[in-house]
């Protein structure tokens, strides 16, 4: 049967290969026909030379020059060199126009040239700088608008400008710090790791995230190749995103892909990037001598693994004097106890670094009636671990075709395919945890087991080598078709259909391989049982959009634009998993090739959204702007009586600069617009207790399971069925209301431009338990629309770009801030369910989201706090002086943390965990990311270019309680160099408190959440630096544009945390997470 499974896997890979081969064959056929269509014999040709300068007569390199044959011949293009010169050597005779375009300048067309055979002509052109930003077209819901006419809170990102040559595979990583109000968080640096997205802060107690649309279709941002993206638009307030309805309550991210252009010759683009990777930060371990010395300071006489600390210290001294007298392994044996003496580096053996390669190839072009673009991408990320079990591979294919079927009917087709494979080591979280927390003495090779056999130590490098790894495969196919029909002047009807199929396949395996524990040298397997697990899941998504656009101008000044349509979506998800113990063959595992117990599970979810929308835009002579949007939405997640809702929004703007009284300053001020908006959107998201989405919150549910009671007759476990959950028959949408006020400004032809926004977002009627019910009921209270939330915030962005002769440069800065508060919640008892990190697991009126509750630290207890003569020789067992408050139930000693008695009752305690009696705890910080900022810059001089990206957080508090921060949290963990500043009788001004033998005693109390050890989570990170050089075009006869570059990612971080802890991480957890990655890359871009 193992052979059968292997054959099936081979067949599966063959199917993938055949599909890819057919796609490539089809692509090759398309290329062949397009090449034929664009190839013409040019027996009678002419030569055209030209010079392009700016208004100050400085040459402009890199200008795109398109030669259009007005007789319908092939259009060809070239670019100016560093001297601003371009040349066409063999243009077919006939009439021509020449189109010159360059970023930051107005496009210019030179017409009236009738070329004759053998003729050589010269052209000159002077490009005029454009007023930057005013005429930019911005993608909005089901349409586009000029940036000058926008009234909502919208940010645009030209991805090519911030992506550049960065060695990243994730679009979300590129967007970090690029738009104000957009927060991108990542949990780790694992290859293929996905990021979290948020717009304008905390959304709802039931969750919520931005809707990501790729060419108007919902899609995971990480499944799109960044190199295929032309622009990104972030819709942040209700007025701009309301038209998308149910899934857009907390903003929309619109991604527009590259699609080729009309009347363009076929163009090939290749980009390649090779990168080496290494951890950005790791905690610095102590030496073996420092570790054992710390145990001695803590009062440990015998280590938990049996070693005498005194003997260990003596052996270490002898080992340092003469290592040759000890075994080569560096492990001494005394009275049957092994003492490791040598310093070993688990980091080098476990995380030596990795290698990445990114390759992208595209070709595009178009005629007067068609345009196309086909791109392929290949990503191979070899993780930093010393094994192929740590890696991510992705293949992308994106094909787009747009053509005029008739003079009124335009059709477009987009096929996007994504295939990825992620390899992860078995239980890699534990591997990182062990690599970090194992003592500096842990051996990395093999040892001698008590029975005399040679076995590997269970250090992470050996586990990586010996254990099978998990495999996750993902296939994502999206087909998008669109028809656009022009009914009359200004009136178009558009119909879009999307089919998206996602398939996931996961395989994992555990073994019973034997290892030697490197801490106590006992022999045991990592798992008690071998097991093999397979899981499959699939999603089929269908969406239809039908809408009409009508635009007209009345009396030359009244501009009207109207959109109306419908949006219908349905998604069906299903999956199953099966696992079996007792794998017979570890080399070819299978379910049927195992002998143990079989367990399985399955799941099925579906949802549907039905929406009808309309939007009216009006502007009077570009001065006064108004927009009204309404959407009538229905969601399958609500009971039939509350399934539909109507959500309106409004916005208005005033282009102050268009007023006559602004004429005097118009030479300096190029943009000044005031805008305001108010809107209402419905939120349909409801979460389960584990954070997953609940698609049927109105249906009572129960979770049957096996009891611990065995039927005496049948001998099997009885099945238990707990009471079903209570549900309300009346709950409906949460309503998200946003008020926004903004100011856009520009100076000096918009070389200096920016915007400032203030906003209030209210999430009203959040689903929460309606009443406190007695525990005797056996289930929780039903969800009802009884809770409210308010978010207040602001955003600021500022950009400058200019050119001084051959030097061009630009800077863009943004910063944003917000805070969220609970304005209504049913918690009459004022209960405080405080988590281990000091945050609140429940809610109450007035609560600021992210607040950290803890004790106020007064310092260390000293000998002066105790009755003279009451302390023993170990400075323990003393009696505190009257008026010195102890922690209730704990005998305090010098070196323990002393807390302030806030309530004055003479003891330190947690109270009864209510607002009325929180004990001696109070709000000491907040873990919300405040003052998030980003700074992006670029510069170019002739053929050289440079760019950088910086981002960070200006204010954040973090409570960290893991082994990397606190020394000796448990007796099994090591000690780090930053933790050696601990209290001893001779070092009373230390940073860390007193530790006790084998992590016992008052260790836990001194590490309660408190002000002394509340960390500053603010940071600034140099995210990327890139330097490039464009090779002179004359080297390639002006037929090829080639550029080489080098880039560095995550190269410098300034923060307040110990080494090994990354302030950017969303969840520091135990400290044993996959580190963020530092990259150094080299690559090339080639176009022809």
Fold of 42-130: Immunoglobulin-like (2.60.40)
Mean pLDDT of 1055-1063: 91
Reported pTM: 0.86
pLDDT reported for residue 687: 76
pLDDT reported for residue 526: 84
- Kindly tell me the burial class for residue 366, based on how many C-beta atoms sit within 10 Å of its own C-beta (0-12, 13-18, 19 or more): buried
Residue 1036 or 938, more confident: 938
CA 957, CA 925: separation in Å to the nearest integer? Answer: 6
CA 1008, CA 5: separation in Å to the nearest integer? Answer: 52
Residue 538, Cα to own-chain centre: how many angstroms? 23
pLDDT exceeds 90 at position 286: yes
DSSP 390: S
Of the candidates 553, 624, 681, 626, the residue with the CA atom closest to the CA atom of residue 249: 681
Of the candidates 307, 289, 311, the residue with the CA atom closest to the CA atom of residue 521: 307
pLDDT reported for residue 33: 44
Residues in the chain: 1088
Structure confidence at residue 38 as a pLDDT band (50, 70, 90): very low
Per-residue pLDDT reduced to its tens digit, 188-233: 888 888 888 999 999 999 988 999 999 888 888 888 888 899 889 9
Structure confidence at residue 773 as a pLDDT band (50, 70, 90): low
CA 629, CA 622: separation in Å to the nearest integer? Answer: 20
Fold of 137-273: Ferric Hydroxamate Uptake Protein; Chain A, domain 1 (2.170.130)
Whole-number Cα distances in Å, 944 to 188, 269, 955 = 34, 20, 37
Mean pLDDT of 236-254: 92
Do residues 742 and 675 touch, judged by C-beta distance below 8 A? yes
Per-residue pLDDT reduced to its tens digit, 147-180: 888 899 999 888 878 887 788 888 888 899 999 9
pLDDT exceeds 60 at position 846: yes
CA 684, CA 735: separation in Å to the nearest integer? Answer: 9
Mean pLDDT is highest, among 222-226, 253-257, 314-318, 1029-1033, for 314-318
Q: Which segment of 52-61, 93-102, 193-202, 217-226 scores lowest on mean pLDDT?
A: 52-61
Query: In the Cβ-directed half-sphere of 34, how many Cα atoms lie within 13 Å?
Result: 23
Mean pLDDT of 1043-1068: 90
pLDDT reported for residue 276: 95
Residue 708 or 907, more confident: 907
Q: Does residue 452 come out as left (phi exceeding 0), alpha (psi in the -120 to 50 range) or beta?
A: left
pLDDT exceeds 90 at position 880: yes
**Segments making up each domain of the chain, as ranges:** 1-37, 42-130, 137-273
CA 514, CA 523: separation in Å to the nearest integer? Answer: 7
pLDDT exceeds 50 at position 287: yes
Per-residue pLDDT reduced to its tens digit, 576-587: 999 999 999 888
pLDDT exceeds 50 at position 29: no
CA 850, CA 843: separation in Å to the nearest integer? Answer: 11
DSSP, collapsed to helix, strand or coil, labels residue 1034 as: helix
Q: How many CB atoms lie within 10 A of CB 227?
A: 23
Residue 89 or 535, more confident: 535
pLDDT reported for residue 708: 65
Q: Which segment of 687-701, 923-937, 1068-1082 scores lowest on mean pLDDT?
A: 687-701
Mean pLDDT of 785-800: 96
Of the candidates 481, 356, 359, 474, the residue with the CA atom closest to the CA atom of residue 417: 474
Mean pLDDT is highest, among 77-81, 190-194, 407-411, 772-776, for 407-411
**Angle of CA points 146, 152, 153, to nearest 5°:** 105
H/E stretch holding 633: strand 624-635
pLDDT exceeds 80 at position 721: no
Longest Cα–Cα distance of the chain, Å, equals: 112
Q: Which segment of 184-193, 301-310, 654-663, 708-717 scores lowest on mean pLDDT?
A: 708-717
**Mean pLDDT score of the chain, rounded to an integer?**
88
Mean pLDDT of 439-446: 90
pLDDT exceeds 70 at position 602: yes
The structure tokens listed for 634 are: 């229905």
CA 410, CA 402: separation in Å to the nearest integer? Answer: 7
Residue 76 or 635, more confident: 635
pLDDT reported for residue 36: 42
Of the candidates 833, 216, 232, 230, the residue with the CA atom closest to the CA atom of residue 569: 216
Q: Which segment of 239-253, 772-786, 798-812, 844-858 scores lowest on mean pLDDT?
A: 772-786
Q: Which segment of 371-380, 394-403, 764-773, 775-784 scores lowest on mean pLDDT?
A: 775-784
pLDDT exceeds 70 at position 11: no
CA 304, CA 323: separation in Å to the nearest integer? Answer: 25
pLDDT reported for residue 489: 92
Do residues 426 and 468 touch, judged by C-beta distance below 8 A? yes
pLDDT reported for residue 474: 96
Across 828-841, b (16+ Cβ under 10 Å) vs e yields: eeebbebeebbbbe
Structure confidence at residue 1071 as a pLDDT band (50, 70, 90): low
Mean pLDDT is highest, among 104-118, 776-790, 828-842, for 828-842
Mean pLDDT of 651-676: 92
pLDDT reported for residue 754: 95
Do residues 127 and 76 touch, judged by C-beta distance below 8 A? no
**Angle of CA points 590, 591, 594, to nearest 5°:** 85
Whole-number Cα distances in Å, 826 to 84, 234, 451, 767 = 70, 34, 64, 11
CA 1014, CA 1078: separation in Å to the nearest integer? Answer: 27
């Amino acid at each position: 049967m193992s052979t059968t499974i292997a054959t099936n896997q081979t067949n599966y890979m063959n199917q993938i290969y055949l599909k890819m081969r057919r796609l490539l064959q089809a692509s090759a056929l398309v290329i062949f026909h397009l090449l034929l269509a664009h190839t013409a014999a040019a027996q009678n040709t002419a030569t055209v030379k030209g010079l392009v300068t700016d208004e100050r007569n400085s040459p402009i390199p890199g200008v795109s020059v398109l030669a259009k044959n007005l007789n319908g011949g092939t259009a060809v293009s070239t670019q100016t060199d560093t001297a601003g010169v371009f040349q066409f050597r063999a243009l077919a005779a006939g009439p021509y126009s020449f189109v010159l375009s360059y970023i930051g300048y107005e496009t210019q067309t030179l017409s009236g040239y009738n070329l004759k055979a053998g003729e050589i002509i010269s052209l000159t052109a002077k490009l005029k700088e454009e007023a930057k930003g005013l005429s930019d077209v911005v993608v909005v819901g089901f349409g586009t608008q000029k940036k000058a006419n926008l009234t909502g809170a919208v940010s645009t990102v030209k991805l090519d400008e911030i992506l550049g040559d960065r060695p990243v595979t994730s679009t979300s990583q590129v967007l970090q710090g690029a738009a104000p109000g957009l927060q991108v968080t990542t949990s780790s640096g694992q290859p293929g790791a996905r990021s979290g997205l948020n717009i304008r802060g905390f959304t709802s107690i039931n969750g919520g995230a931005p809707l990501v649309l790729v060419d108007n279709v919902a899609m995971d941002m990480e499944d799109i190749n960044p190199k295929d993206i032309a622009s990104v638009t972030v819709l942040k307030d209700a007025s701009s995103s309301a038209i998308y309805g149910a899934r857009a309550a907390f903003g929309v991210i619109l991604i527009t892909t590259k699609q080729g252009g009309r009347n363009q010759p076929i163009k090939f683009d290749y980009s390649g990037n090779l990168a080496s990777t290494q951890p950005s930060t790791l905690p610095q371990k102590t030496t073996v001598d420092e570790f054992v010395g710390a145990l001695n300071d803590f009062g440990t006489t015998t280590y938990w693994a049996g070693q005498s600390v005194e003997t260990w210290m003596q052996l270490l001294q002898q080992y340092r004097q003469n290592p040759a007298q000890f075994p080569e392994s560096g492990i001494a044996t005394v009275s049957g106890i092994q003492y490791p003496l040598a310093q070993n580096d688990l980091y080098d053996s476990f995380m030596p670094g990795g290698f990445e390669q990114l390759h992208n190839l595209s070709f595009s072009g178009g005629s007067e009636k068609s345009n196309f673009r086909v791109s392929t991408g290949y990503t191979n990320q070899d993780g930093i671990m010393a094994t192929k079990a740590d890696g991510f591979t992705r293949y992308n294919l994106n094909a787009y075709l747009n053509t005029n079927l008739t003079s009124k009917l335009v059709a477009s087709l987009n096929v996007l395919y994504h295939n990825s494979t992620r390899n992860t080591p078995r239980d890699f979280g534990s591997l990182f945890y062990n690599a970090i927390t194992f003592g500096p003495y842990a051996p990395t090779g093999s040892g001698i087991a008590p029975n005399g056999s040679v076995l590997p130590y269970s250090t992470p490098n050996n586990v990586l080598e010996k254990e099978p790894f998990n495999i996750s495969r993902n296939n994502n196919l999206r087909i998008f078709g669109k028809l656009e029909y022009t009914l009359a002047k200004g009136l178009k009807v558009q119909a879009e259909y999307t089919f998206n199929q996602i398939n996931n396949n996961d395989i994992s395996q555990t073994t019973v391989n034997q290892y030697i524990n490197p801490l106590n040298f006992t022999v045991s397997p990592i798992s008690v049982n071998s097991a093999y697990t397979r899981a499959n899941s699939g999603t089929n998504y269908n969406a239809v959009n039908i809408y009409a656009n009508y635009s007209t101008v009345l009396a030359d000044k009244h501009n009207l634009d109207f959109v109306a349509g419908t949006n219908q979506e349905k998604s069906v998800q299903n999956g199953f998993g099966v696992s079996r113990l007792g794998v017979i063959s570890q080399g070819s595992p299978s379910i049927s090739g195992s002998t143990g117990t079989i367990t399985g599970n399955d799941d099925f979810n579906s949802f549907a959204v039905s929406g009808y929308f309309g939007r009216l835009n009006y502007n009077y002579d570009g001065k006064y702007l108004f927009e009204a949007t309404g959407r009538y939405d229905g969601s399958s997640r609500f009971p039939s009586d509350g399934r539909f809702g109507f959500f309106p929004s409004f916005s208005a703007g005033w282009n102050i600069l268009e007023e006559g009284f602004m004429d005097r300053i118009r030479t300096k001020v190029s943009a000044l617009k005031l805008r305001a908006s108010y809107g209402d959107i419905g939120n349909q998201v409801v979460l389960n207790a584990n954070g997953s989405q609940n698609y049927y919150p109105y249906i009572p549910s129960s979770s049957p399971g096996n009891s611990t009671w065995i039927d005496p007759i049948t001998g099997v476990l009885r099945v238990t069925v707990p009471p079903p959950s209570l549900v309300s028959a009346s709950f409906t949408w949460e309503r998200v209301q946003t008020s926004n006020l903004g100011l856009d400004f520009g100076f000096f032809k918009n070389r200096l431009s920016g915007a400032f926004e203030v906003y209030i977002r209210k999430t009203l009627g959040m689903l929460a338990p309606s009443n406190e019910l007695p525990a005797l009921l056996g289930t929780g209270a039903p969800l009802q629309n009884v809770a409210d939330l308010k978010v207040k915030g602001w955003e600021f962005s500022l950009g400058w770009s200019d050119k001084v002769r051959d030097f061009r440069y630009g800077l863009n800065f943004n910063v944003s801030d917000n805070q969220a508060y609970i304005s209504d919640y049913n918690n009459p008892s004022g209960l405080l369910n405080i988590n281990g990190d000091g945050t609140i697991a429940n809610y109450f009126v007035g609560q600021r989201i992210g607040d950290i509750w803890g004790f106020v630290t007064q310092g260390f207890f000293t000998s002066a706090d105790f009755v003279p003569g009451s302390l023993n020789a170990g400075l323990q067992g003393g009696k505190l002086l009257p008026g010195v408050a102890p922690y209730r139930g704990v005998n305090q000693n010098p070196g323990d943390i002393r807390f302030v008695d806030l309530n004055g009752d003479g003891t330190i305690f947690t109270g009864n965990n209510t607002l009325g009696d929180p004990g001696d705890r109070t709000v000491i910080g907040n873990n919300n990311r405040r003052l998030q900022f980003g700074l992006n810059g670029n510069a170019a001089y002739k053929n050289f270019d440079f760019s950088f990206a910086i981002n960070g957080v200006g204010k954040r508090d973090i409570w960290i309680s893991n082994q990397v921060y606190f020394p000796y949290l448990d007796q099994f963990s090591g000690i780090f160099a930053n933790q050696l500043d601990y209290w001893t009788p001779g070092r009373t001004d230390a940073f860390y408190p007193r530790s006790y033998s084998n992590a016992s005693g008052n260790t836990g109390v001194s590490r309660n959440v408190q002000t002394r050890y509340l960390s500053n989570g603010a940071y600034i990170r140099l995210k990327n630096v890139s330097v490039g050089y464009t090779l002179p075009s004359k080297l390639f006869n002006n037929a090829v544009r080639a550029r080489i570059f080098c880039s560095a990612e995550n190269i410098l971080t300034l923060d307040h945390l110990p080494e090994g802890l990354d302030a950017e991480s969303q969840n520091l957890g135990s400290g044993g997470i996959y580190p963020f990655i530092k990259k150094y890359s080299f690559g090339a871009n080639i176009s022809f």
